[in-house]
Structure 1
């Protein structure tokens, strides 16, 4: 049987770690004179654009869930062993909180600070590519997962300028909603696997 206190600790650490990335973005932004939240606007268009832009990623996620390709299966197994076990006793509202923190803080760092800072020095294309090489490297769980993180990061970097107006809300919504769906599916699959083992 899984350990409830360990699950509680995992959840708290995950929330604190993800949340600290927003502080890192602010600190780096202060040093580099780039305010990470300069292009964050709460608007119906930004929210709707983010939700709409999440749909292809969610469909791709569910399609990949059906594949038996070994590198994809390896990713699924690793996520079940880490996130599934770590979130085993969490309510869906906890999952929503964690996904929201991750979407907000990671996007503040990578699309709010890093991408604009690199763009200011080397132009839009280099800024987009380099910021997402770093995004992929911090998500380097397996080679395929790293590649998928790179592609997802590039997508969110492009969607930063959705509708011709830069709005950090769009990639934040994409990231948070995608993570929420993925976490819920991982948790469901972990619980099914756990029940079968008894």
Structure 2
């Protein structure tokens, strides 16, 4: 067999090498999501004002009655649902435009964690939560913070309060993780080092909360949730941790509202909670360091076509 025959039988090189996706769609999706969320909330707010006036509300007292109306439990949940709906629509649209399956593209895959691993991660999230609250308290001394959530809990009934806590845990925990740790972080990880993708995603997650003190808190939590999503290769554990943090915050507000949680909290209780949170956080870091599954960006996402 001649050299020419060998050349003829050799497989032709692949004319279309694999390329990773561009990062600019992630930033465009963030801008669109923030705009759509605000527009949706404004539209719902206008509808509520029209309903208020149409049902006999006094136009002259609208300025004084409207703040209390907006933080009433049904209206507050409706406004949050509209905002989260705008974020969810953007997430689905952006993921559908990406040339990968929707479920895998957003990271809703099995993380490969043992059953006890979920509990460890949830309890470990309380340590970043404590750190985030400390940063929040420090920032709120010099910068404004969002008072709407506290005002909403001041008006709730026990039943309405539990509904609000459940909503805060489930809806943002799922929607925000699908968008930030699912779509945005996975796309950035395909091109950037993990530390850069996690920090930038956490920064965008913080900016979504608008007020400086809230941004600082969300940034701290975003770093932890980003590491969880990256190391497990799935959004599910991060969504569970996010839901647990939101539920804990809601239960804390609800307990303060009805005097169930003492003020101030005894030092022994505070020390016990911090010790347990730190122990579970260290166990979580050990669990994540094991690399239970291929890290986000190491496969799957890196094989997308540039778009």
Give TM-score scaled by structure 2 length. Answer: 0.51
Deviation for aligned residue 1:5: 9.3
Match of 1:31 in 2: 97
Deviation for aligned residue 1:95: 1.5
Do structure 1's residue 129 and structure 2's residue 196 form an aligned pair? no
Q: For 2:77 and 2:174, how far apart are their aligned partners in 1?
A: 17
Kindly tell me: are residues 124 and 57 of structure 1, through their superposed partners in 2, closer, same or farther at Cα, counting changes over 3 Å?
Answer: closer
Task: Select 1:173's aligned residue among 240, 256, 272.
Answer: 240
Deviation track 1:28-53 (CA, whole Å, cap 9, x = no partner) reads 11223352144355862553243232
Structure 1 gaps, min length 5: 193-198
Q: For 1:183 and 1:39, how far apart are their aligned partners in 2?
A: 28
Q: For 1:150 and 1:68, how far apart are their aligned partners in 2?
A: 14
1:7–1:88: 8 Å Cα contact kept in structure 2? yes
Kindly tell me: are residues 63 and 10 of structure 1, through their superposed partners in 2, closer, same or farther at Cα, counting changes over 3 Å?
Answer: same
Task: Select 1:156's aligned residue among 225, 231, 238.
Answer: 225
Kindly tell me: are residues 106 and 156 of structure 1, through their superposed partners in 2, closer, same or farther at Cα, counting changes over 3 Å?
Answer: same
1:37–1:168: 8 Å Cα contact kept in structure 2? yes
Do structure 1's residue 101 and structure 2's residue 171 form an aligned pair? yes
Do structure 1's residue 54 and structure 2's residue 54 form an aligned pair? no
Q: For 1:112 and 1:42, how far apart are their aligned partners in 2?
A: 17
- Greater RCO, 1 or 2 (C-alpha within 8 Å, sep 6+): 1
1:58–1:181: 8 Å Cα contact kept in structure 2? no
Q: For 2:203 and 2:195, how far apart are their aligned partners in 1?
A: 12
Deviation track 1:42-80 (CA, whole Å, cap 9, x = no partner) reads 862553243232231344467789x78852896485642
Matches within 5 A, 1:71-110: 71=141, 75=145, 77=147, 79-81=149-151, 83-85=152-154, 88-89=156-157, 90-110=160-180
Match of 2:31 in 1: none
Structure 2 gaps, min length 5: 1-64, 260-307
Match of 1:184 in 2: 251
2:111–2:237: 8 Å Cα contact kept in structure 1? no
* 4+ runs deviating over 3 angstroms: 1-6, 37-43, 57-65, 67-70, 72-79, 187-192
Task: Select 1:146's aligned residue among 188, 192, 215.
Answer: 215
